[in-house]
Amino acid sequence: MIVIVIVIANGTRSRSPKSRNDVPDPESLTRWGADHRSNAMWTKRAAAFARAVAIAGAAAACTPSDPGAPDPSLVAVKLGMAPRDVRERFVPGAEGSWQTTVGSAADDTAIEWVGKPGSRVEKATFEFHLGMLVAVRETSHTMNGGAGAEHVSATPKTVTLTRPNGAQTEVTILSRDCPTHHVEAENLAKLARP
């Protein structure tokens, strides 16, 4: 949900008399009137702009999501993070448990989050190489009934695969720079549509 707050400051300066004995000159009254009308016009324009932005935001929120858009639970998780940062920023939206696995090579570690029954995110695995996040694999329950096709997007540094699988969606995000995942990432990148 997008929330936009617009603050409109009324900058009307009063050029009216300060006391009953002060007599304003006609020029200052004319300027006060011009400033007042100008500020009122800008206030109306700002209010119209705020309404237009609110309508556009509501329309965007009601449209179907982009199949390549990141899963809401993964929005704050970025490749290159440390395990502690991933645990802090991963937002599954339900309770679950964490488990850490050390790979055969001392520099490979994985942490896995498993959701309790009924949670939207069923399972998420975060793979680390030399203490940096290089791969994310998440399985979540699909809100649209598993409709849609497999989607692959690639950048020079990452590859993201979103695959509907029945009532679930599988999301895989891989670093193309990691030697452990390089072959898998490049094979997925070949499937990306330009």
Query: For the segment 116-148, what is each residue's pLDDT rounded down to a tens digit?
Result: 988 889 999 999 999 999 999 999 887 555 557
> 58 and 76 share a domain?
no
Residue 119 within a domain: yes
> 170 and 92 share a domain?
yes
Q: Which of 106, 108, 114, 176 is nearest to 139 (CA)?
A: 114
Residue 194 within a domain: no
Question: What total number of domains does the chain contain?
Answer: 2
> 109 and 159 share a domain?
yes
pLDDT of residue 191: 87
> 76 and 28 share a domain?
no
Q: What angle do CA 64, 67, 68 make, to 5 degrees?
A: 130
CB 14 within 8 A of CB 41: no
Strands 121-129 and 108-115 turn out to be antiparallel
Using CB atoms within 10 Å of the CB of residue 154, give its burial: 0 to 12 exposed, 13 to 18 middle, 19+ buried: buried
pLDDT of residue 74: 81
Range of the domain at 169: 72-189
> 90 and 35 share a domain?
no
Main-chain phi, psi angles of 114, to 5 degrees: -120, 125
The structure's pTM equals: 0.61
> 88 and 45 share a domain?
no
> 86 and 177 share a domain?
yes
Tell whether the model's pLDDT for residue 103 goes beyond 90.
no
> 119 and 169 share a domain?
yes
Q: Which of 47, 25, 45 is nearest to 37 (CA)?
A: 45
